[in-house]
Amino acid sequence: MRPNKTALLLVIGLTAMFTAATAFAGVRTITSRGKTYVTLSNLAAYYGMTITQPARNRIRMQNKYNKIEFQTESRSVWVNGILVALNEPVRKVGWSWAIDTTDFVKTIEPVSRPSEFLKTAGTRTVVLDPGHGGDDKGTSSPRNVHEKLIVLDVAKRVQAKLEARGINVALTRESDRDLDLDARCRKAAALRADILVSIHANSAGKKRDVRGAETFVLALPGRYSSNSYGGGAIPTSNNTGNRCDLANMVLGYRIQQNLIKATGQEDRGIKRARFEVLRDAPCPAALVEMAFLSNPKDEAIAIDPAGRDRIARGIADGITAYLSDVTRARTK
Ligand SMILES: [Zn+2]
């Protein structure tokens, strides 16, 4: 897909030019110390939502379509109950709680109004990428079940479910074999993928109590990834995958939302990272970490065929939901 990059750059450019309170894409922004913010009350007005404060550190806004709940001084926001990581914490700017303008544009907007941002996205070919393979076993569970085999099985189940719905699906690897990271994106490009979903399982090593599912989309240029706040240099240049920032977020959100619904797993949220398969993706892309093999409960789900089938249903439903968003966007 090719999102309307020119229009987006234009609005970002305009925001940068204004100081004081200005209107931006219909929402007022304020500037503080050279950064622009959208206050939560302006955001609620923009979406036609009522705003309440159900707890001292929670701000909830709601209309008949969506419920968005922010946690103050935190990067956590729940959109219709699904955790999404913001780039910057919700903070007080003057007297008002506010979010960074980039978080409004690249995170809250696509998950609140998905079909507004997918008009030029494609729906023809889904490429699934089972992580690791061959000598690269990925992580292993305490019972010595290897990630590479779990994710291949899940990918094949996702493929079967999508094909049953008439969707064209290809896999980057169909057997237990080595495949370089760059070969995965090259293959997706050669297959003219409209979506690339990389499938992995997680490990927290000896921290056996860590469990749940999380979905990654590509980190934004000049912004930290969710697991490296404050550390290291931040690449400011665009990666290939950044051409699809808005669609990436919709895809990641739909997958996480449906995965949690299908499995009832702990929701660890939609996060951002610079994994190579996301960086070089030729199309909207997400990377799913379906479960923690280091956690006994998650391991039980992953080694049970019925558990893997629920995970696969969640991923397939997420992809289908994204494709429906695209179809809706085109007929609008
Ligand atoms: Zn992995």
CATH of the domain at 270: 3.40.630.40
Per-residue pLDDT tens digits for 63-91: 999 999 999 999 999 999 999 999 999 99
The string of DSSP codes covering 174-186 is SSS----HHHHHH
Give me ligand 1 centre to Cα 304, in Å.
Answer: 19
246 and 138, same structural domain?
Answer: yes
Give me ligand 1 centre to Cα 13, in Å.
Answer: 37
Give me ligand 1 centre to Cα 114, in Å.
Answer: 28
- Determine the average pLDDT of the residues in 192-200: 98
262 and 145, same structural domain?
Answer: yes
- How many structural domains comprise the chain? 2
89 and 228, same structural domain?
Answer: no
137 and 279, same structural domain?
Answer: yes
* DSSP three-state, residue 267: strand
Residue 156 has pLDDT above 70, yes or no: yes
Poorest-confidence range of 15-19, 60-64, 228-232, 322-326? 15-19
The DSSP secondary-structure symbol of 243 reads G
The CATH number given to whatever domain includes residue 22 is 3.30.457.10
pLDDT value of residue 14: 42
* DSSP three-state, residue 7: helix
Considering the domain boundaries, does residue 35 fall inside one?
yes
Per-residue pLDDT tens digits for 167-183: 999 999 999 999 999 99
Give me ligand 1 centre to Cα 138, in Å.
Answer: 5
- Determine the average pLDDT of the residues in 40-46: 95
130 and 87, same structural domain?
Answer: no
Angle at CA 283, nearest 5°, toward 168 and 322?
60
Considering the domain boundaries, does residue 118 fall inside one?
no
176 and 83, same structural domain?
Answer: no
218 and 131, same structural domain?
Answer: yes
226 and 87, same structural domain?
Answer: no
Q: What is the mean pLDDT of the chain?
A: 91
Task: Determine how many CB atoms are found less than 10 A away from the CB of residue 180.
Answer: 10
Give me ligand 1 centre to Cα 174, in Å.
Answer: 16
162 and 22, same structural domain?
Answer: no
Residues with CB under 5 A from ligand 1 (ion): 131, 138, 200
Give me ligand 1 centre to Cα 212, in Å.
Answer: 15
Considering the domain boundaries, does residue 230 fall inside one?
yes
pLDDT value of residue 7: 47
pTM for this predicted structure = 0.91
pLDDT value of residue 21: 52
Comparing CA positions, the residue from 96, 78, 124, 101 lying closest to residue 16 is 101
Residue 20 has pLDDT above 50, yes or no: no
pLDDT value of residue 225: 81
Rounded Cα–Cα distance for residues 234 and 159 (Å): 36
Q: Write down how long the chain is.
A: 332
213 and 312, same structural domain?
Answer: yes
pLDDT above 90 as % of the chain: 83
pLDDT value of residue 27: 86
Domain of residue 27 covers 5-112
257 and 136, same structural domain?
Answer: yes
- Determine the average pLDDT of the residues in 128-144: 95
| pLDDT band at residue 12 under the 50/70/90 scheme | very low
Rounded Cα–Cα distance for residues 284 and 256 (Å): 15
219 and 198, same structural domain?
Answer: yes
Per-residue pLDDT tens digits for 218-272: 999 888 787 655 555 577 778 899 999 999 999 999 999 999 999 999 999 999 9
Axis-axis angle for helices 305-331, 147-164 (nearest 10): 50
pLDDT value of residue 24: 60
Residue 2 has pLDDT above 90, yes or no: no
| pLDDT band at residue 5 under the 50/70/90 scheme | very low
Give me ligand 1 centre to Cα 203, in Å.
Answer: 9
